[in-house]
Amino acid sequence: MKFSAERSELDSMVLQIELTLVSIIQGVALFFLIDNARVVLTTQDIAYWLYIPAGLLVIFVFWSRSILHTLTVVRWPLEFGHNFLYITCALFEALLFTKLSEPRMWFTLGAIYSAVGWVIFLWDFRLIRARESDSVGDASNRLSAKVRRDQRWNVILFLPGVFALNLICAFCIYSRPDFFLAHNGHVWLIAFQLFGFAAYLFYSVRFYVDLAPLIAAARAEWRGMIGDNERALFRCPAIRARSMRGELFQCRTAAAR
């Protein structure tokens, strides 16, 4: 992989695009959550109030995992498939927040939402492989190894677990509406899901704290490689001569003006 100042500028551009996209789609999702939470709170049926913090944790999890991916694996070139999946996931997230008072649809859409998230994690193995080929030192290698291990846990355990939990909860409500709807048995289901979201968010934050020093060290290695390459290029007589001729041409042009 060839490192240059131009590549650094392109990487910064891609990071800005990624952060802007995540901020916009989560802002839209938050709007749907607030709008529907207002309706749920005015009904004075506290059986559905737990769905509001559950929705807020969904946003926290999505945003934190997106930022982790942005800081660790997102670089030039821009990955359209990754971003299209983000938008698709945000669509089902917004639809999920319209069902705060409909437990059956909440868990059904939750299963679809987690399935799309599962696909995102599978897709992002492409980005991890690309970053592994970019590794320029020990910190970069260690960072890639930790990110790949976390990605594998998410694909094998966490996302399938969330998907299965939503399916089981939806099946329970469809098969026993007399208990889970008429007698508010769904409160136990959403309480368990709420606990799961909180535990996963705690894991994600701890994972970021563990990665933060490696992210800084890996970026320092990468910036150092850019500087070394550019100094090596300028030490080449032919390139140095071309550079000096270019500067001389600019000076003559300015003098002519």
The set of residues, in sequence order, having a beta carbon less than 8 Å from that of 55 and lying 6+ positions away, is: 33, 37, 96, 97, 100
Going by C-alpha positions, the residue among 183, 188, 192 that lies closest to residue 164 is 192
Select the highest-mean-pLDDT range: 72-76, 173-177, 221-225. Answer: 173-177
With a pLDDT cut of 90, the percent of the chain lying above it is 56
Going by C-alpha positions, the residue among 241, 239, 219 that lies closest to residue 230 is 239
Convert the pLDDT of each residue in 111-151 to its tens digit.
Answer: 999 999 999 999 999 888 887 887 767 888 898 899 999 99
Amino acid at site 113 = Y
Annotate 85-108 with b (16+ C-beta within 10 A) or e (fewer): bbebbbbbbbebbbbbbbbbbbbb
Convert the pLDDT of each residue in 218-256 to its tens digit.
Answer: 877 766 654 444 434 334 444 344 443 444 334 444 445
**What gap in Å lies between CA 25 and CA 94, rounded to an integer?**
9
**Scanning the structure block, which residue is given the tokens 């500028």?**
9
